[in-house]
Structure 1
Amino acid sequence: MVSDRTQGFARTLIIVLVAVLSVVAGYVLFVWFPGDLAELLGVVLVLATVGAGLQFGSRIAGSLYPTYNVAEVAVEGPITRDGGSSPLPSTPTTPGADDIVEQMERADEDDAVDALLVKLNTPGGAVVPSDDIRLAAERFDGVTVAYTTDTCASGGYWIASGCDELWAREGSVVGSIGVRSPRFTATGLLEKLGVEYKQFVAGEYKEAGSPFTELDEDEREYLQGITDEFYETFVETVAEGRDLDEDFVRDTEARVYLGSEAHDLGLVDDLGTRDDVEDRLATLLGTEPRVSTFEPRRGLGARLRGGASGVAYALGQGLADAVTPDDEVEVRAER
């Protein structure tokens, strides 16, 4: 087995060799070959080529001599299929469920990865995207440890039930094992505006839940039945994945608990910091954990859109802070 020192030397050698080749290639292509007309531009292009070469060399070295044995995948913010993208500037979004599943599957296919570390800081979200992420964690062929920093609620806890262990901080918010199906009605507004809503439908319950019609008792029972079915699936999934009694899970009544109480109830396996989680991974793996953060693969267009969204959000937030008096700032907590 090749030692870590030998692997480190080999990685450095590969990067240096690729960098030297990049310098030579850049000089030949952009300085020597074009002649005097492009010398200034050539220098710039040489530097760009060297940078690209170093990045390429690092990837080659990393694939041949990986420096990690643990892949970390983050689930942060509301859980949606596409990451909650919006045409309007808002809080920069995190990857959607499909991207997170892709990261987990890529980690599973990576021969260097022996463990999956799932970082959870989410109030929950859509049912099916949450279950897709849970299934990806469950399919991972190796150790899977989830840990939460601030919040692991609802869909976040659904995901955690697919992991071998769940860690939390004493002050983390954990639980909310329940389902909600929000509905709003705009019938009063339409009446005030003098607008009459008409819709031609086929099927008795096609309009059930429409915000432009009153909800009758049959429709209420129908929609509540769907919500109840989701809830039963949630309870069964958590009970099986976390080795808990179904009646106990139901008795939580979708409450949230601080990490210390969640640990006492068995909703969390252990309490600790990120360092404590890595110590646990060392015990499970029998070797020092070396963590690499896996991120979604995005094309240039997606990266540019993400960067523009972040800039727009920062600009809007800065303007809001500038015009909002200190005594009018609200502190809001979301579950």
Structure 2
Amino acid sequence: MNDTPNWERQLVEKLAMAAVVEQRRARRWKIFFRLVWLGIIGSLLAFAFMRNEDKSAEALTGSGHTAVISLDGVIDSDNNTAEKLSAALEDAYTDRGTRGIIIEANSPGGSPVLSGMAYDEIRRQKKLHPAIPVYVTVQEVCASGCYYIAAAADKIFVDKASIIGSIGVLSDGFGFTGLMDKLGVERRLKTAGENKAMGDPFSPTNPKQEAIRQQLLDDIHQQFIKAVRDGRGSRLKNDPQLFSGMVWIGEKGIPLGLADGLGNTRSVARDIIKAEKTVDYTQQDDLSSRVARKIGVEFAGGVRSLFNTRLF
């Protein structure tokens, strides 16, 4: 035993003091990290503000500029494609320095709904601002839903090796009934509504439901075809493969009427729009918008997966 009087009390006091010191240290680190996060958020806000200020300053100088909007990645609700494109178009048209708009496309496609919304918005804005042309310049790929959107532009310019086309619709999934039989797994699914479980991967295929799915795909495909015909008009050649879902490289797509010529963003701004200076109007997400949208996407995913229709 320890011969020091009141040693137990001293030990407890030391332990309590150590706990207090540790709490203070943890509190200081917590405050430090909060300040770091506030600094990062403040820097991002300042950057966004200065970026907008730079756009305004550029618009007030010189003889005008070409507005550039990026259409990049999969067209879906997670990327908020249609809304961002609409907002960017609004900003570009509002700017009195805009001489023309280039949508810089590099996307394999995606949602037919969002593609249709973006297509309609481009057509609407063109009617309101007929003096400002809208062009699409294709980088690596502009297929399916991306081409749906591009068809709304006045002209489409490609690189000779760009991939364009894929005017078709698909709905995919998996069937696990054979594997379930081997494992002795029984599917116990109850529905109210005979077609409520249409597309369920754990149930056998139903010819009637498969016909319904095919009709949905055919209807969406016809919407896609009409949009391309309306947008491209007489430039489209009468080729039986045009709406079959095939893709072509840029130099092969020009004779078919899928594109109007070779070009990129810089050359179109300089030689076609005659405003070599470019200003980027692509909308950027803030952190809160990304988090809120991600939550919404996760809630919607369960229903959407039953009939996952897309244009790529």
**Same fold? TM cut 0.5:** yes
Q: Secondary structure at the match of 1:116?
A: strand
**1:163-182 residue CA offsets vs partner (Å, 9 max, x unmatched):** 00000011111111111111
**Alignment-mate amino acid for residue 72 of structure 2:** E
Q: Aligned partner of 1:296: which letter? A: Q
Residue 156 of structure 1, aligned match among 131, 137, 146: 146
Equivalent residue in structure 2 for 1:292, among 279, 289, 312: 279
Number of the residue aligned with 2:246: 255
Q: 1:229: how far off?
A: 0.3
SS of residue in 1 equivalent to 2:275: coil
Per the alignment, residue 80 of structure 1 pairs with 76
Pick closer, same or farther for the CA change 1:56–1:234 going to 2, 3 Å: closer
Q: 1:274 to 1:246 in 2, by over 3 A?
A: closer
**Residues 101 and 132, structure 1, Cα contact 8 Å, conserved in 2:** no
Match of 1:69 among 52, 65, 80: 65
Aligned counterparts of 2:262 and 2:282: Cα–Cα separation in 1: 26
Indicate yes or no: 2:92 matched with 1:107.
yes
1:49-198 matched pairs, under 5 angstroms: 55=50, 58-59=53-54, 62=57, 65=60, 69-83=65-79, 96-140=81-125, 141=129, 142-198=132-188
Q: Is the CA contact (8 Å cut-off) linking 1:235 and 1:246 kept in structure 2?
A: no
Residue 330 of structure 1 is matched in structure 2 by none
Query: Judging changes above 3 Å, is the alpha-carbon distance between structure 1 residues 246 and 211 closer, same or farther for their aligned structure 2 residues?
Result: farther
Q: Cα 1:196–1:222, aligned 2, differ >3 Å: closer, same or farther?
A: same
- CA shift, 1:249, in A, is 6.3
- State the AA in 2 paired with 1:128: V
Unmatched runs of 5 consecutive residues or more in structure 2: 1-38, 293-311
For residues 170 and 57 of structure 1, the distance between their equivalents in structure 2, rounded to whole angstroms, comes to 35
Q: Please tell me whether the aligned partners of residues 239 and 249 of structure 1 are also in contact (alpha carbons under 8 angstroms).
A: no
What CA deviation, in whole Å up to 9, does each residue of 1:186-212 have, x standing for no partner?
A: 223333443322222122211111111
Q: Are the aligned partners of 1:153 and 1:176 in contact in 2 as well (CA < 8 Å)?
A: yes
Counterpart check, 1:243 vs 2:233: yes
What residue in structure 2 maps to residue 310 of structure 1? Answer: none
Q: Which amino acid aligns with 1:62?
A: A
- Structure 2 contact 106–140 (Cα < 8 Å) conserved: yes
> How big is the shift at 1:76?
1.3
Asked whether the 8 Å contact 1:187–1:212 carries over to 2, the reply is yes
Q: Work out the percentage of aligned pairs sharing the same amino acid.
A: 26
> 8 Å contact 1:117–1:146 — kept in the other structure?
yes
1:298 Cα offset (Å): 3.3
Correspondence for 2:35: none
> What is the TM-score normalised by the length of structure 2?
0.68
Secondary structure in structure 1 of the residue aligned to 2:181: helix
Larger RCO (CA under 8 A, 6+ residues apart): 2
The size of the alignment, in residue pairs, is 244
Tell me the equivalent position of 2:218: 228
One-letter identity of the residue aligned with 1:77: G
Give 1:291 deviation, angstroms.
Answer: 1.2
Distance 2:193 2:170 in 1: 25
Aligned to 2:86, the other structure's residue is in SS state: helix
CA contact (8 A) 2:109 2:143 kept: yes
Q: TM-score w.r.t. structure 1 length?
A: 0.64
